[in-house]
Amino acid sequence: MPKSDLVSLEKLEPLFNPRSVAIAGASGRIIEPYVYDVTTAPMVYLLTYGYKGQIFPINPKYEEIRGYKCYPSISAIPEEVDVAIVLLPANTVIDFLKECGKKGVKGVVVTSSGFAETGDEGKLNQDNIREVAEKYNMVVLGPNCNGFINVSKGIPVTFTPVVDQPKLVPGEIAFISGSGATLSGIAQRAKEWGMQFSYLVGTGNSAQLDEADCIRYAIEDPATKVVMTMIEGFKNGSKFLDVADLALKKKKPIVALKVGLSEAGVKMAASHTGKLAGSAKVNLAAFKQKGVLMVEEINDFILSAQIFTQTSLPEGDGIGVLSSSGGSAGLAVDLIEKEGLRVGELSPESHKELSDTIRWFATAKNPFDFAGQFLRDETFVPKVCDIFLNDPDISVLVMVMTALQAHEPVILKQMIEAQQRHKKPVVILYECGELTPEMDKMVKDSNIPFITSPKECFKVVGNLIRYSQFLKRAKEVAPVVDIPAGARDKALDVISKAGGHVMERESKEIIAHYGIPVTGQKLATSLEEAQAAVKYIGYPVVLKIDSPDILHKSEFGGVALNINNDKELKDAYGAMLKKVKSVAPKAKIRGVLVQEMARGDGVEVIVGVTRDPQFGPTLMFGLGGVFVELLQDVSFRICPITLTDAKEMIRETKGFKLLEGFRGSLRADIAALEEAMVKFSRLAMDLESQVKETEINPLLVLPEGKGVKALDARVVLG
Amino acid sequence: MPKSDLVSLEKLEPLFNPRSVAIAGASGRIIEPYVYDVTTAPMVYLLTYGYKGQIFPINPKYEEIRGYKCYPSISAIPEEVDVAIVLLPANTVIDFLKECGKKGVKGVVVTSSGFAETGDEGKLNQDNIREVAEKYNMVVLGPNCNGFINVSKGIPVTFTPVVDQPKLVPGEIAFISGSGATLSGIAQRAKEWGMQFSYLVGTGNSAQLDEADCIRYAIEDPATKVVMTMIEGFKNGSKFLDVADLALKKKKPIVALKVGLSEAGVKMAASHTGKLAGSAKVNLAAFKQKGVLMVEEINDFILSAQIFTQTSLPEGDGIGVLSSSGGSAGLAVDLIEKEGLRVGELSPESHKELSDTIRWFATAKNPFDFAGQFLRDETFVPKVCDIFLNDPDISVLVMVMTALQAHEPVILKQMIEAQQRHKKPVVILYECGELTPEMDKMVKDSNIPFITSPKECFKVVGNLIRYSQFLKRAKEVAPVVDIPAGARDKALDVISKAGGHVMERESKEIIAHYGIPVTGQKLATSLEEAQAAVKYIGYPVVLKIDSPDILHKSEFGGVALNINNDKELKDAYGAMLKKVKSVAPKAKIRGVLVQEMARGDGVEVIVGVTRDPQFGPTLMFGLGGVFVELLQDVSFRICPITLTDAKEMIRETKGFKLLEGFRGSLRADIAALEEAMVKFSRLAMDLESQVKETEINPLLVLPEGKGVKALDARVVLG
């Protein structure tokens, strides 16, 4: 599945699991008690973690460091070196790398800054790093990175102090970050919140290895169950999506914190539909399509990853809410709705059981405000938990703990037991002050999801539910949409015959070859041919001038609509040629396109493909009229798409209701639209090298059972 | 300004500042060390706070409690009692209240539950509480509440343990909450976060006093600078809005956490525009209109209130962002955009100064990623702060602290000093692990806004900016829109003449009396009259049957459009009467309405007023076509509105762009629309007692300078 441009596991193995580590630029300073210092830290950390392999400090200034022989250069080391970590100034890095290459070093971690982040010269130096690495068959992490920690095996090759005070305990979460500062800061907070890692990797500027390579390595390791990744920008978005596919197959969630997901991109989208593929929206769509969980900030980031190590996956999407405060329960429901989640509906049986359990001052429903009932009956909360967790529509149970005072520990314990008794996720939303040490220990020992911010709670619960839905979707095999045999060859033939000028007529021919119905059309080079064309198409027709030199046909009098009979045809044909020849005497005229004039009910939509700079061909969908241009009510998916993707794309737009029949109009043929979108995405993939962008605008979606019809289309080569 | 249904300050004074407190149901148990107990707590708290007034425990079982003489009943107390707190079962409350009344007690705090929250019987008992209170001229807090603490004067009349361990320190924030459990929980967290209160008040079921009364009391006290209020539901929304007006006048922000602000209400809005006034959206609009800051959860709630006690108000809305991590700065910008805020733009002078200060590896812009430059130059961060804080477009400066390691205390100190040096708000967004005790002390001592969640940070900064904009808006006096003299009398005359059946014709007459142009119309009772009407109106015209018995005119053949000449008029007139008489033979026909048929460019909008159950007459605005019915793209304001409100309402809708001119169409006469909306809101207020709902649909907004015209209108009495 992963494309060949992912670095192979064999090459990554000696980097992330080295038998020996050289430290170029190691410092011999002895600082007691330990004070943070970039050139001292890596060696101290290796020793602290009891690294079993060999350690080779490199620094011409020292004979030995901390009892280890120190070498003047990498080539002076007599034994094999798997990994070298570089703590040298930027201007010495290339020479050092070459020396590494000659020495046969397998992997290099370049922490030095001063490369692409500084401008064009730095960028060139960074390209040099990649070239040297490739020449010597090495892998390189960085430059401008803080290295990695293989926590599972206790191997820190880094200067980041998060590994120290106290030592990291191996866990199931791999955290791969482009931003080094963020890696350190977030990992520190996550560690304090009880998170345990399998790997921490800072990819820095990614001269060669990027986030996708490192995630791939981490998820191939059974130790890793979940991936956190912070991405500042993609160099190769497709590579990332391939890894996302792999992760979904392995059921290992990827939680992504991506910089640049605001609407800035979308705002830049001009009214012209071809420019609507604002990359922020495309990025969000790509993540959704590939089952990557998206977060916007660090707390959601940490908690969304952590919850997968704390609970099972929910079966459905119904959420149950318990609280001793009606106010808190009400606020929880507001947030559930806002997060696009669903409050579960208790079955009649559960409802009856709950009614029988409670007293007059509570109402048997979800969310359930049990007020003070727990005060007199210690079995009350467990009973209610069982009723909720046995209900088929409750997939996640959230207990909002508010002002329970001295009863907090008991109720917390009862919730922990409820989660153990049932196999459904139970989450504590804690809305009071700080925990007592006793309760804090209960929370940490039980590993129950324990969240102190309501918004974060439902964002995280939402990610849990969304991931289980992604897995379900991935299991369903969307029906395959057949493309007519030979479509690609025929389309290429049209393109080659068009001689560089694919006009509306050829565009529609290409689309028709992919099985998308288009309005009937014939090119006529004389009135007689036009009349013959009408015999085939039938009135009413549209006439359009066909000239590679005239793009804006109507401005040149090159369009005549609603021609109903032979007389109108004759008049319009003559008038059009006369007008065009007078305004554009030098234009090469291929003829007049006679087109079927589409009639009757239907909803006009726009389907387009542009080449996204991060992810390649990307399909856009939106409704005509005000929807695309005024409201920017569009959805995106990376090509190729499945029927499931098409279904989701259509339903993501607000205009969707119009297709379902609005104000008494007929429901449109949505199934045919979905099929056409899949075909169109196939076309985009087949012609990826020839076509820069393509669009059907409008595509008329006829009433149910009547299909779709492309009224106009545009294929732009390049 | 506040309406008379607010309880007077004179009556509230002895409640919130009592010279003596009686405790009905006080327990004599001595528990050491103190363990929480509802009937023990209130007296213990009064003693702990060194209450200076008299304390009278009431309990027939004891002779004395904690050294205080205990009375068998309230009437047995020989001295005057300002306040009694009731810790008795629900069924004894009314009798006790009557006794209080006879005794001349000024205020009663009823903590007992078992009233309206339990159903109809409880509701009746609760109504009894109000009646008894009114009869004896007492004020009552509760029932089902946890009392209040006048922190400024050290008077706790409550059982909530938040007052204890450690004692509350007087501060500037009044927290008024409907939900008792939430009051306790949130106040506990707020206290641990360093928040200091002037008042804490739980209003419970609000038999008599509600949140508005208590907020009003708190803001009249100079000790209170900010109000936090949690509201489960309004009994009288207008009362709350009056207090909001007062608070804005006194420049005391109200931060509101309101239950039930999800789209649930809006979803219920049917396609019929009259039902669009979903109360969730109306509530949000009312808050915005009256300058109330809205939050959705407890952390935003606490921090949004706290920041007003920590910084000055920003002048403008430009935000500056500093960070040592490009990744963190990028995420901050995403969140700023998402929150609807604006990244400030550095002036050319600031830009130059910044460029001169930095080294190659940073770019002089906002957000500013200063990477590792602070490491070698201790003056670097203060210099950058000065450049930013001196820039006219930077009104708030946010420092995102990420992985600064050992340099954290220095930079924190520099930021605190920067805030002291300048008078602009400086906010710390801290993205690492836990603070060291040293730093924690610096933060608490300096009272600098210090936030650990990025989302919360920008929500809170947003509220700070929004509030200063509310104040600015409140200062601007919107131009007054003149209503034609005698409009109300003329409108009432139309209503009375319509005899209970205000049809389209009368509705438009009423609207016209308020100075909103309507299409020309005349009622004709004969063909001759119709012909005469056309002389006055001019072709083309529309004919509509006028019958109080026919509401859906077109279904009965009662509408004929686009009549262009005398022949068409004659035919249509005859055909309509014939058709209507055949399908609805019993319908009373007043005649045929001859109407001007509006022509030409223009954008159709809908303006309606419904009576919101919480806030009274509420104006709705939206564009025609798909905007209102399909997209629910509408905005609301409580009547009466100002021109400023109208401007904001129009610009809040997505469809607004259509009015500005879209796809080459002319810009519509937005000023005329704004004026018409103000007039329409005046109409709604004038006729509040007669009219249940009213709507202009469509109101045609003509090109700029040409005004508006109501094409159809509907006034529903009731």
Say what the ipTM of the complex is. Answer: 0.90
Contact indicator for A506, A498 with CB cutoff of 8 Å? yes
Q: How many Cβ atoms are within 10 Å of B377's Cβ, its own excluded?
A: 12
Structure tokens at B341: 């805020």
B454 contact residues in A (CB cutoff 8 A): 296-299
B183 contact residues in A (CB cutoff 8 A): 403
pLDDT at B278: 46
What is the pairing mode between strands A342-343 and A54-58? unpaired
Indicate the residue type of B667: R
What sign results for the dihedral spanned by CA atoms B176, B177, B180, B186? negative
Domains of chain A: residue spans and CATH = 9-306 (3.40.50.720), 312-475 (3.40.50.261), 487-596 (3.30.1490.20), 603-717 (3.30.470.20)
> Chain B within 8 Å of A662 (Cβ-Cβ)?
yes
Beta bridge partners of B522: B594
Q: Which residue has the higher pLDDT, B661 or A277?
A: B661
Q: Which of B506, B474, B472, B471 is nearest to B491 (CA)?
A: B506
Angular region, B486: left φ>0, alpha ψ -120 to 50, beta rest? left
pLDDT at B400: 96
| A149 burial type by CB count under 10 A (0-12 exposed, 13-18 middle, 19+ buried) | buried
Task: Report B:504-533 residues touching A (Cβ under 8 A).
Answer: none
pLDDT at B707: 96
Low-confidence ranges of chain B (pLDDT < 50): 1-4, 33-34, 264-278
pLDDT at B36: 64
Mean pLDDT (chain A) is 91
**Residue A365 to chain B, least CA–CA distance (Å):** 15
Instruction: Find all residues with CB under 8 Å of B286, minimum gap 6, and list them.
Output: B237, B241, B292, B614, B615, B636, B637, B638
> Chain B within 8 Å of A453 (Cβ-Cβ)?
yes
> Chain B within 8 Å of A331 (Cβ-Cβ)?
yes
Structure tokens at B609: 């007023």
Q: b/e string for B158-193 if b means 16 or more Cβ within 10 A?
A: bbbbbbbeeebeebbbbbbbbbbbbbbbbbbbbbee
> Chain B within 8 Å of A632 (Cβ-Cβ)?
no
Mean pLDDT for A308-316 is: 96
Helix (H, G, I), strand (E, B) or coil at A674: helix
pLDDT at A659: 96
Mutate which of B334, B452, B555 to test chain A, going by most A C-beta atoms within 10 A?
Answer: B334
Residue A654 is nearest to which of B331, B454, B631, comparing CB atoms? B631
pLDDT at B268: 30
Indicate the residue type of A376: R
pLDDT at B256: 97
pLDDT at B386: 97
- Considering all CA atoms of chain A, what is the largest pairwise distance in Å, rounded to the nearest integer? 102
Beta bridge partners of A625: none
Residue A611 half-sphere exposure, CB side, CA atoms within 13 Å?
13
Q: Which residue has the tokens 């395959």?
A: A480
Q: Which of A337, A377, A343 is nearest to A357 (CA)?
A: A377
Instruction: Find all residues with CB under 8 Å of B583, minimum gap 6, and list them.
Output: B556, B557
Q: What is the rounded distance in angstroms from the CA atom of residue B544 to the CA atom of residue B557?
A: 9
How does DSSP classify residue A590? -
How does DSSP classify residue B165? T
Q: What is the rounded distance in angstroms from the CA atom of residue B552 to the CA atom of residue A31?
A: 90
Helix (H, G, I), strand (E, B) or coil at B374: helix
Q: How distant is the alpha carbon of residue A497 from its chain centre?
A: 39
Asked if residue A334 has pLDDT above 70, the reply is yes
Q: Which residue has the tokens 């220990």?
A: A441
pLDDT at B523: 93
Q: What is the rounded distance in angstroms from the CA atom of residue B708 to the CA atom of residue B668?
A: 9
The pLDDT tens digits for A616-632 are 999 999 999 889 888 88
Q: What is the rounded distance in angstroms from the CA atom of residue B575 to the CA atom of residue B552?
A: 17
pLDDT at A362: 65
Helix (H, G, I), strand (E, B) or coil at A154: coil
Mean pLDDT for A507-536 is: 94
Q: Which of A533, A561, A542, A546 is nearest to A507 (CA)?
A: A546
Task: Count contacts between A and B (CB, < 8 Å).
Answer: 228
pLDDT at A265: 32
> Chain A within 8 Å of B158 (Cβ-Cβ)?
no
Task: Report A:335-354 residues touching B (Cβ under 8 A).
Answer: 335-338
Residue B297 is nearest to which of A333, A403, A454, comparing CB atoms? A454
Q: What is the rounded distance in angstroms from the CA atom of residue B632 to the CA atom of residue B588?
A: 37
Residue A361 is nearest to which of B113, B455, B456, comparing CB atoms? B113
For A359, the closest chain B residue by CA position comes to B118
Query: Which band of pLDDT confidence, cut at 50, 70 and 90, is reported for residue A361?
Result: low
For A159, the closest chain B residue by CA position comes to B405
Structure tokens at A175: 């955290």
Asked if residue A644 has pLDDT above 70, the reply is yes
| Contact call for B433 and A188, based on CB within 8 A | yes
* Cα three-residue angle A224-A227-A233, rounded to 5 degrees: 145
Q: Which of B673, B678, B683, B696 is nearest to B606 (CA)?
A: B696
> Chain B within 8 Å of A120 (Cβ-Cβ)?
no
Beta bridge partners of A323: A369, A400
Asked if residue A499 has pLDDT above 60, the reply is yes
Task: Report A:396-435 residues touching B (Cβ under 8 A).
Answer: 402-403, 405-406, 431-434
What is the pairing mode between strands B64-65 and B68-69? antiparallel
Contact indicator for A543, A560 with CB cutoff of 8 Å? yes
For A117, the closest chain B residue by CA position comes to B361
> Chain A within 8 Å of B316 (Cβ-Cβ)?
no
| Contact call for A361 and B118, based on CB within 8 A | yes
Residue B455 is nearest to which of A177, A455, A658, comparing CB atoms? A455
What is the pairing mode between strands B616-623 and B450-451? unpaired
> Chain A within 8 Å of B634 (Cβ-Cβ)?
no
Compute chain B's Rg from CA coordinates.
32
Mutate which of A431, A604, A654, A658 to test chain B, going by most B C-beta atoms within 10 A?
Answer: A431
Structure tokens at B543: 């004919």
Contact indicator for A666, A658 with CB cutoff of 8 Å? no
Beta bridge partners of B174: B199, B227
This prediction has a pTM of: 0.92
Q: What is the rounded distance in angstroms from the CA atom of residue A202 to the CA atom of residue B628?
A: 49
In which order are the strands placed within the sheet that holds B521-524? B521-524, B591-596, B541-546, B559-563
Q: What sections of A200-236 are H helices per DSSP?
A: 211-220
The pLDDT tens digits for A129-161 are 999 999 999 999 999 999 999 999 999 999 998
The pLDDT tens digits for B73-89 are 999 999 999 999 999 99
> Chain A within 8 Å of B259 (Cβ-Cβ)?
yes
Q: Which of A164, A168, A195, A162 is nearest to A181 (CA)?
A: A162
**Residue B194 to chain A, least CA–CA distance (Å):** 11
Indicate the residue type of A630: L
Instruction: Find all residues with CB under 8 Å of B54, minimum gap 6, and list them.
Output: B19, B20, B21, B79
Query: Which band of pLDDT confidence, cut at 50, 70 and 90, is reported for residue A32?
Result: low
Query: Which band of pLDDT confidence, cut at 50, 70 and 90, is reported for residue A638?
Result: very high
The pLDDT tens digits for A221-271 are 999 999 999 998 888 888 999 999 999 999 999 999 988 776 543 333 332
Contact indicator for A367, A394 with CB cutoff of 8 Å? no
Residue A406 is nearest to which of B36, B113, B626, comparing CB atoms? B36
Q: Which of A245, A211, A216 is nearest to A231 (CA)?
A: A211
Q: What is the rounded distance in angstroms from the CA atom of residue B162 to the CA atom of residue B143?
A: 20
